[in-house]
Structure 1
Amino acid sequence: MANTRLPTYFISHGGGPWPYMTGDFRRNFDQLEQSLLDMRAELKERPTAILVISGHWEERRFAISSGAQPGMIYDYQGFAKHLYTIKYGAPGLPELAKRVQQLLHARGIDADLDPTRGFDHGTFSILKPLYPEENIPVVQVSLDASFDPALHFNAGEALSPLRDEGVLIIGSGLSYHNLAAMQDVRGHEPSRQFDAWLQQTLVHAPPQERAKRLLEWESAPCARAAHPREDHLIPLMVVAGAAKDEPGAVTYHQTDFAGGLTASSFRFGEIR
């Protein structure tokens, strides 16, 4: 796919190790899983590598996983014992990690290589259904702990050339992430209102307005009710920056997620 410009994606990744589960909890994510299968189908050919900006990794400044054989990070609680021994066995790609670092440095953005970082569930929860063969190299990029929207948008712009090099750039988070309100009706209306703002911003607004609205996301309806802490939103800034002025589209939209929440995923760029 090196001669094809790949789109970028922001994926609402769901809860814990859901692809490795069965039963009622697993069925909560049927629509999300179908959207990932559709995503694979629309990409037609497999990418040469995958770059994931995960809402589950924060550092003092950007960090990039650079190990050749990443391990696993079980960053969830309360699940069955066997779910702490699962393995997503894709290799890393040290050469891509160095390329990412060089692109960020060229934009004046500090970034460190981390040869010990494993796959967190922001990464393996989406890649298990998307590429179950586990044979595409994967590199993760952390968030900068400042959560500065402009910094992350700028980082995305710096990484945009990778799209022409066969690298699939994915921001993994959740369009609504208020853990305290997820288990009852308090989250239903804020998630709906914030999702409506996302739809208007990412799909319908002109590209210049899209960037401005994203950088001012805290002024959106129910912004802080939807994201008391914005770790699961900031990956969106990176993939939107990497998309530049290309159009946005909805790839997943569910209004009864976890019993009544609204959640969405988005693609930026045309499918060629």
Structure 2
Amino acid sequence: MTARRLPTYYISHGGGPWPYMDDNMRRRFDKLEASLLSIRNEWGSAARAALIVSGHWETPEFAVSSAAAPGMVFDYYGFPEHLYDIKYDAPGSPELAVRVLAMLQAGGFACESDPERGFDHGTFSLMKPLCPNGEMPIVQLSIKQDLDPQAHLSVGQLLAPLRDEGVVIIGSGSSFHNLGLRGPAAVEPSRQFDDWLQQTLLATSTDERRRRVVAWTQAPHARTAHPREDHLIPLMVALGAADKESAALVFHQDDFFGSWALSSFRFGDPLCLGTQTSSVER
């Protein structure tokens, strides 16, 4: 491992276009925002681009966004009208898109280039706090519609060399994602699933960690936490890209949306020391 190898992340990205919300609505995301600001400090000056694996982009086979100036994808509902006119002006990186495409194809995975895909909120909700002026080029990688954990772990392993090239790999989803379950009924299922996820990622050997995430449906309340695992699968890519490295908890909130336990994780060491996270070395 080189001294400049960037860590990878699985981040619970919050609700809709929250960085663009006003006043009290935005304040609900203060803890998440603080965690993102801390994460940005972990990269120093080493990160030159971001590869975001968003749970909001599914394709039959893998796809990579290749536009030089991506547009926006407003894949949320019921928000005030002005939140459908926002623009996050970060550039894309056709060069990085070509590199990602080649890496996956060389590893035996079908992958297509999509020059039309814009930033969905799984991407811009994170990157607005991380890089508020849109100064970092961004490429998005879709998740494959079969949602196969092992395939996404393998894709992450193929992408690992990007970490030595100044590319930060972020899996963007949510550690609990059952939009129909709020209030007291959500408390215990979300706590138990979150406890299992933290135990799996922070306190097991890397071999056991991999085995457990592939068999994630055996976790307590697995299908309550993820009736459909589109928001969990980005974890597999981030974890695969740091397969043998230690994990750290970089965000946790017990009362997200009033009742959900949500967490975010880092894999690999931060480049800038001094961040306050919970980690288990092994």
Normalization by structure 2: what TM-score?
Answer: 0.94
Residues paired across the two proteins, number: 270
Secondary structure of the 2:241 match is helix
CA–CA separation in structure 2 for the residues paired with 1:53 and 1:259: 27
Q: Which residue of 2 aligns with 1:58?
A: 58
Q: Which residue of 2 aligns with 1:232?
A: 231
Structure 1: 4+ residue segments shifted above 3 A: none
Secondary structure of the 1:104 match is helix
Q: CA deviation at 1:46?
A: 5.1
Q: CA deviation at 1:3?
A: 6.5
Quick check: 1:83 aligned with 2:73?
no
Write out aligned runs for 1:138-177 (5 A). Answer: 138-177=138-177
Q: Which residue of 2 aligns with 1:115?
A: 115
RMSD: 1.0
Q: Which residue of 2 aligns with 1:221?
A: 220
Q: CA deviation at 1:51?
A: 0.1
Greater share of helix residues, 1 or 2? 1
**2:8·2:168 contact (CA, 8 Å) conserved in 1?**
yes
Write out aligned runs for 1:86-101 (5 A). Answer: 86-101=86-101
In the alignment, structure 2 segments of 5+ residues that lack a partner are 272-282
Q: Which residue of 1 aligns with 2:279?
A: none
Q: Which residue of 2 aligns with 1:184?
A: 183
CA–CA separation in structure 2 for the residues paired with 1:193 and 1:177: 14
Secondary structure of the 2:146 match is coil
Q: CA deviation at 1:19?
A: 0.3
**2:16·2:121 contact (CA, 8 Å) conserved in 1?**
yes
Q: Which residue of 2 aligns with 1:204?
A: 203
**2:59·2:145 contact (CA, 8 Å) conserved in 1?**
yes
Q: Which residue of 2 aligns with 1:40?
A: 40
Q: Which residue of 2 aligns with 1:129?
A: 129
Letter in 2 for 1:156: G
CA–CA separation in structure 1 for the residues paired with 2:16 and 2:148: 26
Letter in 2 for 1:126: L
**1:3·1:166 contact (CA, 8 Å) conserved in 2?**
no
**2:6·2:46 contact (CA, 8 Å) conserved in 1?**
no
In the alignment, structure 1 segments of 5+ residues that lack a partner are none
Percent identity reads 57
In structure 2, do the counterparts of structure 1 residues 46 and 28 end up closer, same or farther at CA, with 3 Å as the change threshold? farther
CA–CA separation in structure 2 for the residues paired with 1:270 and 1:93: 26
Q: Which residue of 1 aligns with 2:253?
A: 254
